[in-house]
Structure 1
Amino acid sequence: MKIALLGYGKMGKIIERIALERGHEIVLRKGSENSFEGLEKADVAIDFSIPTSAVVNIKSAIDYHVPIISGTTGWLEQYDDIVAYNQLKGGAFLYGSNFSLGVNVFFKLNEYLAKMMSQLKEYNVSMEEIHHTQKLDAPSGTAISLANGIIENSAYNKWTLDQPKENEIHIDAIRQDSVPGTHSVFYDSSIDQIEIKHTAHSREGFALGAVVAAEWILGKKGVFTMRDVLNLNDN
């Protein structure tokens, strides 16, 4: 499989190494200084760039009829536009707030727990996410996905970084050196606490998941998520 890397920072380099180990070829390593030349040769593109570059990268891949995997967060106010653009062009697009295989199982566990806890009004939910200081967006895309999973399965209707009002989920976004990503969901009552937590030990899990998604999307058309890749859509 021939891969175009749209974004060649730390994640791009880890994805490159894992892709090569799995027998794939890199035909484009796009940083801020070079063009999209070589994208037309790719079987699939993987975007791990920055929020201000992501939309251009994704649309360029769609224009070249190259399936595109994107793990860049912080641009989701334009997500619906990208979905419509992909549909118009007949492309293949997969966005993931987190490509870790374990995190995507964690997403499903979070939704299941939220559904159970929605019956227990004694408990209040809150969240915490910890990332490295180079992360540009807060809260993380993963934290937003977790919050949305709770909202879809409970009476909560909004997340906030501020002091929460009724039916709001407070997210504490913490930045520390050299933390790949830790996400916790807490259910607190006056007598006890339930906590579920995912801790990433390195960025390797994110990179492996992105390459697995790229392998999966070949030959497909439409808009997908890691739920499709891992067959987690069934309840």
Structure 2
Amino acid sequence: MKIALLGYGRMGKTIEQIALQKGHEIVLKVDENTKNYDITIADVAIDFSIPSVAFNNITNCFKNNVPVVSGTTGWLAKFEEAKTICKQQKGAFIYASNYSLGVNIFFELNNYLAKMMHHLDDYQISLEEIHHTKKLDAPSGTAITLAEDIIKHSSKNSWTLDVTNNETELPIVAKRIDDVPGTHSIKYKSKVDTIDIKHTAHNRDGFALGAVVAAEWLVGKTGVFTMKDVLGLNK
């Protein structure tokens, strides 16, 4: 499989290593200094760029009939527009805030726990995420996904990047610490006890492997998909 890497930062380099180990070829590496490139030489593109260029990277793939897997966060104000363009161009697209198998299991666990806690009003919900200092956006896309699933099953109307006493908002605390690949914690606290669930990434390899697996799965398909489709969790 010939892969284009849209974004060649820390994640891009890790994806390259994993892809090469799996026998794939990297035919294109695009970073902020790349001005003109031919995306059509690739069988699939993997986008881990930056928020300001992600939408253009992704829609350029649609227009050139190249399937694209994106893990860039911070651009989702244009997500619905991207999905529309994908469908118009009969493209293939997967977006995930996190490609790690463990995190996607954690998403399912979080969603199930939120359903269980729905009517237990004595518990206060909070969410914390910790990442390395080079991560540009806060909160993380993974934290937002976790928060949105909690909100669906609670009395909360929205999330906020702060500690709040507003009963309609779910507080997310975002911390930036050197060399932390990613930690996400959800806490339900009452006067009598606390329930915690937590996912801790030890390195970036899990994220990179998931992105390559998603790219392998996407080639030859048409439509907009998620990691639930890749992992068979929608069945």
| TM-score, length basis structure 1 | 0.97
| Residue correspondence of structure 1 range 1-235 to structure 2 within 5 A | 1-162=1-162, 163-234=164-235
Structure 1, 93-102 or 152-161: larger mean CA deviation: 152-161
C-alpha contact 1:30 1:36 (8 A) present in aligned 2: no
C-alpha contact 1:14 1:207 (8 A) present in aligned 2: yes
C-alpha contact 1:27 1:39 (8 A) present in aligned 2: no
Mapped to 1, the partners of 2:170 and 2:37 lie a distance apart of: 44
Q: Please report the RMSD computed on the Cα atoms of aligned residues, expressed in angstroms.
A: 1.0
| CA deviation after TM superposition for structure 1 residue 115, in Å | 0.1
Partner AA of 1:207 in structure 2: A
Give deviations 1:31-69, integer Å, cap 9, x for gaps: 112245241111100000110110111011111100000
Mapped to 2, the partners of 1:111 and 1:26 lie a distance apart of: 36
Give deviations 1:182-203, integer Å, cap 9, x for gaps: 0000000001100000000001
Identity over aligned residues, as a percent? Answer: 61
Shift >6 Å, 4+ stretches: none
Summarize the Cα distance change of 1:142–1:164 in structure 2 as closer, same or farther, 3 Å threshold.
farther
C-alpha contact 1:92 1:217 (8 A) present in aligned 2: yes
Partner AA of 1:169 in structure 2: L
Secondary structure (helix, strand or coil) at the match of 1:125 reads: strand
Summarize the Cα distance change of 1:15–1:166 in structure 2 as closer, same or farther, 3 Å threshold.
same
Secondary structure (helix, strand or coil) at the match of 1:208 reads: helix
Q: Please, which runs of 5 or more residues in structure 2 have no aligned partner?
A: none
Mapped to 2, the partners of 1:65 and 1:189 lie a distance apart of: 52
Mapped to 1, the partners of 2:165 and 2:227 lie a distance apart of: 30
| TM-score, length basis structure 2 | 0.97
Secondary structure (helix, strand or coil) at the match of 1:55 reads: helix
Give deviations 1:97-128, integer Å, cap 9, x for gaps: 00111000000000000000012111111000
Partner AA of 1:205 in structure 2: G
C-alpha contact 1:27 1:38 (8 A) present in aligned 2: no
Mapped to 2, the partners of 1:85 and 1:126 lie a distance apart of: 36
Partner AA of 1:171 in structure 2: I
C-alpha contact 1:161 1:173 (8 A) present in aligned 2: yes
Partner AA of 1:109 in structure 2: L
Structure 1, 28-37 or 137-146: larger mean CA deviation: 28-37
Secondary structure (helix, strand or coil) at the match of 2:216 reads: helix
Secondary structure (helix, strand or coil) at the match of 1:69 reads: strand
Secondary structure (helix, strand or coil) at the match of 1:150 reads: helix
Mapped to 2, the partners of 1:36 and 1:143 lie a distance apart of: 34
